Amino acid sequence: MEGAGEQSGPQPSQPPQAGDHRICDGDFVVLKREDVFKAVQVQRRKKVTFEKQWFYLDNVIGHSYGTTFEVTSGGSLQPKKKKEEPTSETKEAGVDNRNIIDDGKSQKLTQDDIKALKDKGIKGEEIVQQLIENSTTFRDKTEFAQDKYIKKKKKKYEAVVTVVKPSTRILSVMYYAREPGKINHMRYDTLAQMLTLGNIRAGNKMIVMETCAGLVLGAVMERMGGFGSIIQLYPGGGPVRAATACFGFPKSFLSGLYEFPLNKVDSLLNGTFSSEMLSSEPKDSASVEESNGIVEEKQTSEQENEDSVAEAPESTLPEEQETMEIVSEDPDYKEPKERGSKKDYIQEKQRRQEEQRKRHLEAAALLNERNADGLIVASRFHPIPLLMSLLNFVAPSRPFVVYCQYKEPLLECYTKLRERGGVINLRLSETWLRNYQVLPDRSHPKLLMSGGGGYLLSGFTVAMDNPKADTSLKPSTSTLDLKKTEEPAAKKRKCPESDS
């Protein structure tokens, strides 16, 4: 059961900040209609397609998050006025639906009549009202059936959209409903468990290794609130942060975000890592541009292209695939011809590569301290080699959480950790989720529920004891065992003496 978005607090004239509650130009928002979500960026004169309807987001600028808009002629959005619904006493309803026959003849209006009403510019509310008046069986239906009929017709003919603020819950629900494969079938309640078990809080120094399109990274950044540091380990040419861009974080959040290639972790552990190893990496494989929370990524591998969701026209997307759109465009990016000479473009590219190299060196220095406050792993790779290597960078008495879609790899990881030692309170868990419909006189579990949301392996790191310390403990434990065995023996001698 999901709630509505946040509201209130007017600050339209200032640049977007973390505490603003008014929609500004360039903000990332989520469009909501019933249980369908879609993430877009607010841009003037930018046509947006959502649920078979197109419109412009110009008029949403300056309004509060959570405002419901109605699509009018010409693709313009206007705030919808709340109308008082008629009380249940004025409704005429039948006792049951046993005499209602669905023969397709109960509606007097034809499709041509409905199309003519749309062409005249009649609003969806009036069309729904005319459908009710021209239905011969509406008054014979029960009150619950009437509400269901009205809700169904409103969804079809009323063009309303609610603009909500992006959050971890909304984005995780959006990804899981549309394409769960991009987030490794991680359900939103499982993500909430990861944040809790990992003790994510402001001021932490976290290590995140994920291949969930940046959703887990964005959730950690939102929980930390821009305080602390995050080291993201990425495979391939560059990190994928398509979902992270949808959060719309300000630049202050990005200052504490570091990235480090996963293939350099072994050299960092062995002490053979050097700055020359970073300079030898191919720089054209990923171009990450950050501007006010906008992260544009250009990847060459097929998997990384699948992790980024781009806008597509309505004609090429089916209805169920239009629930989400991620638009990550950098207004500062231009082609080499538009930027000026080719030399300037090359210098700009070299400058960004040098900045990226410095950030990698800073991330390596943070990892070398080996005092991270937590570890989060949620990737499509096998967790054993990842966890065995990354646990060396985590300080003692710190939590770690590993997510996997299947439990068998986590069982192997559980066994390896028990053999290795240095961890306690190992726990392999799976959350069970069922949604409920909560309505007057008809609250019940929903008919459809999720079959599974993945598995979690969690625990805490501890300092490894020396072998000498283990041998010194053996005499003390043996003397205790002797005392325990001697006491019952003395009692047994007294028993026959009392009987005689």
Q: Does 164 have pLDDT greater than 90? A: yes
Higher pLDDT, 268 or 484: 268
DSSP class per residue in 33-95 = ETTEEEEEE--TT-EEEETTEEEE-GGGTTSBTT-EEEE-GGG-EEEPPP-PPPPGGG----S
User: For residue 229, what pLDDT is reported?
Assistant: 95
Higher confidence at residue 448 or residue 307?
448
Q: Scanning the structure block, which residue is given the tokens 């509505």?
A: 4
304 pLDDT higher than 70: no
Report how far residue 493's alpha carbon sits from residue 274's, in angstroms, rounded to the nearest whole number: 73
Residues in the chain: 500
Q: In this prediction, what percent of the chain has a pLDDT beyond 90?
A: 37
pLDDT (tens digit per residue) in 244-271 = 999 999 988 999 999 999 988 988 888 8
Find which of 98-102, 146-150, 171-175, 317-321 is predicted with most confidence, using mean pLDDT.
171-175
Q: What is the CATH number of domain 168-273+349-461?
A: 3.40.50.150
Spatial neighbors of 340 by CB under 8 A, at least 6 apart, are none
Lowest average pLDDT, out of 225-229, 355-359, 434-438, 494-498, goes to: 494-498
User: Is residue 473 very low, low, confident or very high in pLDDT (cuts 50, 70, 90)?
Assistant: very low
Name the token pair of 48. Answer: 């947006």
- Residue 332: pLDDT band (50, 70, 90) is very low
What pLDDT is attached to residue 129?
81
pLDDT at 490 over 70: no
The domain ranges of the chain are 20-82+90-165, 168-273+349-461
* pLDDT at residue 424 tops 80: yes
Number of Cβ within 10 Å of residue 245's Cβ equals 26
**Higher-pLDDT residue of 348, 219:** 219
Give the residue among 419, 415, 413, 381 at the shortest CA–CA distance from 400. 413
CA proximity to 235, closest of 378, 417, 356: 378
Strands 374-378 and 289-291: unpaired
Taking 80 as the threshold, does the pLDDT of residue 294 lie above it?
Answer: no
Residues 6 or more apart whose CB falls under 8 angstroms from that of 262 comprise 209, 233, 234, 235
Pairing between β-strand 205-210 and β-strand 374-378 as defined by DSSP bridges: parallel
Instruction: Kindly tell me if the per-residue pLDDT of 467 is higher than 70.
Output: no
Residue 328 has pLDDT above 80, yes or no: no
Share of the chain above pLDDT 70, in %: 74
Residues 6+ apart with CB under 8 A from 447: none
Is the sign of the CA dihedral 90, 96, 98, 102 positive or negative? positive
Taking all residues of the chain, what is their mean pLDDT, rounded to a whole number?
Answer: 77
243 close to 293: Cβ distance less than 8 angstroms: no
pLDDT tens digit sequence for 375-408: 999 999 999 999 999 999 999 999 999 999 999 9
pLDDT of amino acid 326: 45
235 pLDDT more than 70: yes
pLDDT at 178: 87
Of 3.40.50.300, 3.40.50.10470, 3.10.330.20, 3.40.1010.10, the CATH number of 20-82+90-165 is: 3.10.330.20
Q: Are 197 and 456 contacting, i.e. CB atoms less than 8 angstroms apart?
A: yes
